[in-house]
Amino acid sequence: MCLVETTLFSLTLVLVGTHCFRLKMTDLNTIRVIPFCGKVDEWPIWCKKFLSKAKRFGFKDLLLGRLAIPRLDEEFDNLSEIGMEKSRIIKLNEIAYTELIISIDVKTSSGKTAFNIVKSCKTKDHPDGNAASAWEKLKNKYEPVSAPTLVKLEKQFRELSLKKVKIQRFCLWS
């Protein structure tokens, strides 16, 4: 289960995990991005879309921290099964981090903030970036689960009121 790319005539076959994608040559020059402007109200929808894309391309488990990303100084045998799996995870991390970076629109200050959060996940252990760490930091920024946030949400919920709505009787039995 590794990333394999083969070009046949004018088609390219890409094998990611157990999924095989067929791309036209024109698709190789096109980058499809799900843009994120860094606004809090935009996060829930973008998050779901990005996770769907991640699942489709095989890096969702990596984003969610279910796969450990090997460090740069970690040595392993590329010919062993464990080594091939670590190589696959490194490649998925590169794809995931790149997708995160290019998805963020930096035209606004909130977009620049989101971009800096992702950019800050380049370390000595992961010089090409750590996608799982970047995703976790984005979640902490846009989906905080702290006591003040929960109190704020509860207050918003209590302030909601129902508009007058005609309620029709529903008959369960005919």
Compute the distance between CA of residue 59 and CA of residue 127 in angstroms, rounded to an integer. 19
Q: How high is the pLDDT of residue 9?
A: 43
Number of domains in the chain: 2
Tokens for 137? 């930091």
Q: Taking 50 as the threshold, does the pLDDT of residue 47 lie above it? A: yes
Domain match, 72 and 17 both: no
Domain match, 73 and 89 both: yes
Cβ atoms within 10 Å of 67's Cβ, excluding its own? 19
Cβ–Cβ under 8 Å, residues 96 and 131: yes
Domain match, 26 and 76 both: no
Residue 72 lies in a domain: yes
Domain match, 20 and 67 both: no
Domain match, 11 and 55 both: no
Domain match, 38 and 86 both: yes
Q: Taking 80 as the threshold, does the pLDDT of residue 57 lie above it? A: yes
Residues 24-39: tens digit of each pLDDT: 544 445 778 899 999 9
Residue with the bigger pLDDT between 102 and 13: it is 102
Residue 7 lies in a domain: yes
Compute the distance between CA of residue 75 and CA of residue 72 in angstroms, rounded to an integer. 8
Residue with the bigger pLDDT between 162 and 71: it is 71
* Mean residue pLDDT across the chain: 80
DSSP string, 110-147: HHHHHHHHHHTT--SS-TT--HHHHHHHHHHHHS---H
Q: How high is the pLDDT of residue 14?
A: 53
Domain match, 78 and 2 both: no
Which band of pLDDT confidence, cut at 50, 70 and 90, is reported for residue 21?
low
Quote the pTM value.
Answer: 0.69
Residues 115-124: tens digit of each pLDDT: 999 999 999 9
Average pLDDT, integer, range 131-156: 86
Q: How high is the pLDDT of residue 10?
A: 44
Average pLDDT, integer, range 150-174: 62
For the four alpha carbons of 103, 62, 45 and 127, in that order, the dihedral sign comes to: negative
Domain match, 43 and 19 both: no
Q: Taking 80 as the threshold, does the pLDDT of residue 77 lie above it? A: yes
Domain match, 20 and 92 both: no
Residue 169 lies in a domain: no
Residue 117: which domain range?
34-147
Residue 164 lies in a domain: no
